[in-house]
Structure 1
Amino acid sequence: MDRIPRLLHQVTFRRFWTAQTISFLGDQVSTVALPLTAVLALDASAAEMGVLGALASLPNLLFALHAGGFVDRYGRLRHMMILSDIGRAAVLLTVPVAYALDALTLAHLWVVAFVTGVLAMLFNVASNSLFAALVDRDDYVNGMSLTRGSFSFSWVAGPGLGGMLVQALSAPVALLADVVSFLGSALLLRSVSLEEPAPEKERSSSHIRDGLRFVSRTPALRAKFVGGGLLNLCYTVYFTLFLLFIARELGLTPGMIGVALGLGAVGALFGSFVTGWVSRRAGIGPTFLIGSVLFPGALALVPFATPDKWVAFGLVVAAEFVSGMGLMLCDIAGSSIQQALTPDRYRSRVQGAYLGLIHGVRTAGALVAGALGTLIGLRPALWLAVIGGVLSCLPLLFAPVARMRTLPEQAE
């Protein structure tokens, strides 16, 4: 943790990190306020809510790889992030305006969800590359701890803040807070001054193909992508059935479920602050491996639970807290390894490819979850998901990852 204060004393990084934190927080407020606008203002059905949720995440599946190629090709990372913030502010502003004019429709919200999803994806892809331009190689782990910690904080604070704003202002008007947050993020980013890596000028198709070839020919990245894909597939199966299982078979109340999920986010926040300490003692590769096992492995406490409500509640809380901590060990160490291995000219393409892969397997995981839950029941399906999640670490064992004591040299 001794390097984190040094990073925070750097004005450019501090402004970048603050802007990113504000933007993350705005995203999480939107995840509550936008669906509640559909429910409370437009009386949306379950099917219509499903479409709204799908449209918000669909851009990552459809465009993440191409967005990575676009960012690497044209550069101007800070400007892309600023335009993404301003674009989200402008699009979200149309919701309270349309509501005030009694012109708000569900189709309007669907368009807003999709467009803000596209802009959020572009912001995240560009910020990944800008991070490497701002942070020294030796500070990657600590910088990732701060950025991923702020992401975890947004998961803790964002939904609650969104709920309070909806309660106080109404759901459509609460989106004005998002508008302000994105404009604040854009203003902070505008004050960041740094030399960005030069973009590569080549044809778009070869640009994307070369990025994929780089991943496939780099053993540690290849293992990270394969293992991460399997892990996200299994976790999606788990989480799709998790709420149904703990509510129906364990009898947990909505309040208990909310507390358990909140403590899971607190575990992630705690994990983001100890990852640097763990990596300095165990090594960056073993830390990645430990997190890859701990994140899914702790979730075994849930299908292990008995129908005793309070025992079940304790096991769910423990599972969520430890799993959240494991997630940060895995995420921060893995992201730092990816940053260290990837040359500047490939950063956005590699990140875009990873986002596309993750969202693709999540779509498949939701379908697999429905089939398994129907065919073999909820508890056996959860066990399969947990076991599969733990086994997803195997690609890392057969790659150089587990032997990495420090960050690797940049790959050719």
Structure 2
Amino acid sequence: MSTYSVASTNFRRFWAGQTLSQFGTRIGTLGLSVTAVELLDANTRQVGVLAAASTVCYLLIGLPAGAWVDRLLKRKTMMWAALTRCVTILAVPLLWLTGHLRIEVLYVVAVLVGVVSVFFDVAYQSYVPVLVPEEDIGAANARLEATAQVSTLGGPALAGLLMRVVSAPVVMLVDAFTYLVSFLSLSVTKDAEQRPAPAAGSERRLLTDVGEGLRFVRDQPVIRRLAVSMGVSNFFATVVSTLVPVLVMRTIGFDSFMLGLVMTCGAAGGVLGALLAPKARQRFSAGAVMSCGLLTAAFFTVANPVAAVVAPHGKILAGAVLLLGEFGMTVGALLFNVTQVSLRQTLCPKNLLGRMNASIRFVVWGSMPLAALVAGWLGSAIGVTATLWVGVVGSVATVLPILTIDRVMTSGLGPAEARKPKAVR
């Protein structure tokens, strides 16, 4: 199968469209949260339910989605998912303008966007090895992650600023527009992928395909450890992120602009983390880079409850703590994420990429709706600050499954290229 290098116009076309799509996604995420908290006066439990609605689809349809994606052309799957997200998001400003917007509508929108995002994300993570040659996979992932973060640098802050002039639902028009651009960029991207031929004798059964993906993740020792680590990490990260809007806008008393500024500062940290990851892999092992990233993220997560503690003594100090914490946390998260994504794509056969990614997301993202509900329940029961401390303690445990991952790779269970630092162009 012919592929296009990361220097090709074809890759840059795909890269630009998905960067802008990430920009809009961050605006839409902020817009839904602000709409719920400010316009619909959602309580802590309702904020938790909204966050759960956005991710529950990974738990419900994540596994069969992987099998379907492996049977379909990945670019076409992403195109229709992008267009569907565009249309669905448009419902929020339209219903707000007609006076029919309710918290239940936000739940439905979150679920529908979540459903198509499952297909888009599984296809997206499986598409890079189709689009570029194997030696460019690390570079492609680093560029996609870095520019996704760059594109969000001004997004949340701009969204917060716009919300001072127009309402949050109207700002979500920008999100819809970026999904349309994503659709158009994919429509002009070229690849040589062909739909897989059906199994000899008869069509493969869906459960058989799903089972293959799950068994691969279970039996591949490196990917199994990554799945466990990411599952724990996302659970506690979701506990924290679900309550950040409540922390910033209610507990401390900032407005939506400050919430956007905090998210923008996190995006700046993400840029640094994504740029550092390929350079770190040239000097250190994959396990060392990923462990360092997770521990860095856990350390800076402490900033959220600390900001709540220092807020009574000065909101400026609390704001500075929040900004520093979000920056450092995202540096660590991207160091880990760029490295683990490239490692998984290298270890997995191309015909299993969709099912492998879907199985991982079933474990990783499937924990997120439960975490969001736990965050809402604990936030009401013991308070926002105490719940954030629970998230901090749990985030430290995320590094445990990968502490010995280098030893596993050097034992001959992983490919040679995964067992040593690999130069990324």
Instruction: Bin the TM-score by the shorter chain.
Output: 0.7 to 0.9
> Displacement of 1:356 after TM fit?
2.2
> Displacement of 1:363 after TM fit?
3.0
Out of 7, 10, 26, the residue aligned to residue 8 of structure 2 is: 10
Match of 1:57 in 2: 55
| Change in 2 beyond 3 A, CA 1:366/1:39 | closer
Paired residues of 2:52 and 2:369 also in contact (CA < 8 A): no
**TM-score computed with the length of structure 2 as normaliser:** 0.80
Distance 1:97 1:378 in 2: 33
State percent identity of aligned pairs: 29
Q: Secondary structure at the match of 1:408?
A: helix
Matches within 5 A, 1:211-360: 211-240=213-242, 253-254=254-255, 259-300=261-302, 307=310, 308-309=313-314, 313-360=319-366
Match of 1:152 in 2: 149
Q: Which amino acid aligns with 1:125?
A: V
Q: Return 5+ residue gaps in structure 1 as ranges.
A: 1-5
Q: Deviations over 1:299-348 (max 9, x none)?
A: 34555676354655544433322221000000000111111111112111
> Displacement of 1:167 after TM fit?
5.3
Count of equivalent residues: 400
Q: Which amino acid aligns with 1:69?
A: A
Match of 1:179 in 2: 176
Q: Secondary structure at the match of 2:189?
A: coil
| Change in 2 beyond 3 A, CA 1:240/1:99 | closer
Distance 1:105 1:376 in 2: 31
Matches within 5 A, 1:38-49: 43=40, 45-46=42-43
Distance 1:374 1:104 in 2: 28
| Change in 2 beyond 3 A, CA 1:283/1:299 | same
| Change in 2 beyond 3 A, CA 1:273/1:193 | same
Query: 1:394 aligned to 2:392?
Result: no
Greater mean alpha carbon deviation, residues 312-321 or residues 191-200:
312-321
Match of 1:206 in 2: 208
> Displacement of 1:82 after TM fit?
1.0
Distance 2:243 2:163 in 1: 28
Query: 1:137 aligned to 2:147?
Result: no
Distance 1:87 1:143 in 2: 26
Distance 2:384 2:248 in 1: 10
Query: 1:195 aligned to 2:197?
Result: no
Q: Secondary structure at the match of 1:274?
A: helix
Paired residues of 1:96 and 1:176 also in contact (CA < 8 A): yes
> Displacement of 1:263 after TM fit?
2.0
| Change in 2 beyond 3 A, CA 1:349/1:200 | farther
Greater mean alpha carbon deviation, residues 151-160 or residues 276-285:
151-160
Paired residues of 1:12 and 1:192 also in contact (CA < 8 A): yes
Distance 2:386 2:46 in 1: 31
Greater mean alpha carbon deviation, residues 212-221 or residues 262-271:
262-271
> Displacement of 1:147 after TM fit?
1.5
Greater mean alpha carbon deviation, residues 20-29 or residues 300-309:
300-309
Q: Deviations over 1:133-169 (max 9, x none)?
A: 1122222222111222233234433333434555556
Out of 24, 37, 62, the residue aligned to residue 26 of structure 1 is: 24
| Change in 2 beyond 3 A, CA 1:330/1:161 | same
Q: Deviations over 1:5-52 (max 9, x none)?
A: x95531121111112112222222322445556678x84644666554
Out of 70, 81, 84, the residue aligned to residue 84 of structure 1 is: 81
Distance 2:9 2:208 in 1: 37
| Change in 2 beyond 3 A, CA 1:401/1:130 | farther
Q: Deviations over 1:359-382 (max 9, x none)?
A: 332233345556766887766665
Distance 2:253 2:302 in 1: 17
Q: Secondary structure at the match of 2:154?
A: helix
> Displacement of 1:262 after TM fit?
3.1
Match of 1:127 in 2: 124
Q: Return 5+ residue gaps in structure 2 as ranges.
A: 199-203, 420-425
Distance 2:105 2:384 in 1: 37
Q: Which amino acid aligns with 2:329?
A: S
> Displacement of 1:80 after TM fit?
0.9
Distance 1:122 1:56 in 2: 14
Distance 1:159 1:263 in 2: 9
Greater mean alpha carbon deviation, residues 267-276 or residues 56-65:
56-65
Two-structure CA RMSD over aligned residues (Å): 3.5
Q: Deviations over 1:186-238 (max 9, x none)?
A: 12111111111543632100100110000000000000011111222233344
> Displacement of 1:90 after TM fit?
2.8
**TM-score computed with the length of structure 1 as normaliser:** 0.82
Greater mean alpha carbon deviation, residues 48-57 or residues 22-31:
48-57
> Displacement of 1:76 after TM fit?
1.0
